[in-house]
Amino acid sequence: MLLATLWVAIALRATRDAPRWSRIASVVLALVGSAGLTLLGDPSASSLADVLRLCLLVIVYPLVWSAILPAGAGLWWAPRPLAQVLGSPIVAAFGTPVALMAYCFTPVWPWTVGHAGPLVMSYPVLFGVGLLLHAGLKGSGHATTSIAIALQVLLSLGDLVIDAVPGIVMRLSTDVIGASHWAHLPHALDNQSIAGAFLWAIADVSDLPIIALVFVRWMRADAEEARRIDAMLDALEERPHEG
């Protein structure tokens, strides 16, 4: 309930100037998302449950939320220079696998799931990381050249390989990752293998809407630049007649 309240507050604040349907959809996502996490059961009981929780908090919910919001709405809190940096899809494309590896392949994972306090606090922290990575997928609300966005599209395509790395390592590993917590549980290695497959699939599939969102930005930026160039040419053509 606390997490749902936090999400609703973030959604309402971020969508203050957004269309009404965006505010409603954001609140519904927060409530449904919080309810969906409760269906996973105890995340400390298996690595599979915790990886699914991680995917929902860091990838799925922030990605859907960013798709709902208009451009720049998710970065209402950031000053312009920071918003322009976070408005690059490269942040989500390359930051996501780094965040997943920092959580899954360090002592942070067994320590978090092994203690009730850090486990509870990890929910808003992981969701906050996901929002930070994905809030700028539609742009920062400031002008960006079509060439810059085209380069970002190409880099996002290359990220399909990088995003798969955490899931592949977990899927193919013959040792239990985070063994200090999971090793004593039954079927720990089997759960980890299935969790790696889910992480691999979700991370790669999530790249497709990211690429789609960036491609839409590219087309819009290109159309806007074409309109500006046409307006400049029209103005140049009218000047001799004025003389």
Query: What gap in Å lies between CA 172 and CA 197, rounded to an integer?
Result: 9
Q: Which of 4-8, 191-195, 227-231 holds the top average pLDDT?
A: 191-195
pLDDT-wise least confident of 11-20, 37-46, 97-106:
11-20
Query: What gap in Å lies between CA 78 and CA 59, rounded to an integer?
Result: 21
pLDDT number for residue 118: 92
Contact 186, 157 (CB under 8 A): no
Number of domains forming the structure of the chain: 1
Task: Tell me the residue range of the domain where 158 lies.
Answer: 2-242
pLDDT-wise least confident of 42-51, 130-139, 213-222:
213-222
Task: Give pLDDT tens digits for 48-57.
Answer: 999 999 999 9
pLDDT-wise least confident of 12-16, 120-124, 180-184:
12-16
Query: 133 pLDDT exceeds 60?
Result: yes
Query: 181 pLDDT exceeds 80?
Result: yes
Q: For the chain, what is the mean pLDDT?
A: 81
The more confidently predicted of residues 69 and 58 is 58
Of the candidates 98, 103, 127, 126, the residue with the CA atom closest to the CA atom of residue 10: 127
By the 10 Å C-beta count (0-12 exposed, 13-18 middle, 19+ buried), 240 is classed as: exposed
- Which pLDDT band, with edges at 50, 70 and 90, does 1 fall under? low
Query: What gap in Å lies between CA 120 and CA 2, rounded to an integer?
Result: 10
Write down the number of H helices and E strands in the chain.
Answer: 11, 0
The sign of the dihedral angle between the CA atoms of 218, 222, 225, 227 is negative
DSSP labels, 210-243:
HHHHHHHHHHHHHHHHHHHHHHHHHHHHHHHHH-
